Amino acid sequence: MNRKTAQFACPNCRSTIVLPVNGNAVDTPLVCQTCGQAFSPHFYCPDANSPARHIFAASKLYIDNAGQVYTFCPEHTFTSYSLAADSKPRQRRAPLYHLSRILDSFAFRVALTIEGWRWRMASRR
């Protein structure tokens, strides 16, 4: 059986907080191990794509059988799976990400320069 984990981002230092879940409910507020700040994850009600959505702080988190985190909106009692942007963990960049961006930009500039030279050579004929 797979061990379930839930990931949240600390709103203060943006570090990822991983919670192993033994049961199916976790009380909030959560405490960041890096900066020590207590916080409650924010969710969208009813959905992140709904035009009439609002953001609320979760008072209790639940884990379903697939390992997804959800909570209930205190105003509407809707089940919400949509974490708000401030509570979603950010993906960590690969160590060579910045180098690949620089090389990609350099290759694009070289291609533009060569194309300019080609146009000049073609226009002289």
- At 3, list the tokens: 């061990």
- Are 16 and 47 in contact by the 8 Å Cβ rule? The answer is no
pLDDT for res 60: 86
pLDDT for res 105: 94
Residues of the chain below pLDDT 50: 1
Residue ranges of domains in the chain: 5-87, 93-125
- Residue 103 phi/psi, 5-degree rounding, is -65, -35
pLDDT for res 98: 83
Looking only at Cα atoms, what is the longest distance across the chain? 78
Q: How does 89-122 read in b/e, with b if 16+ C-beta sit within 10 Å?
A: eeeeeeeeeeeeeeeeeeeeeeeeeeeeeeeeee
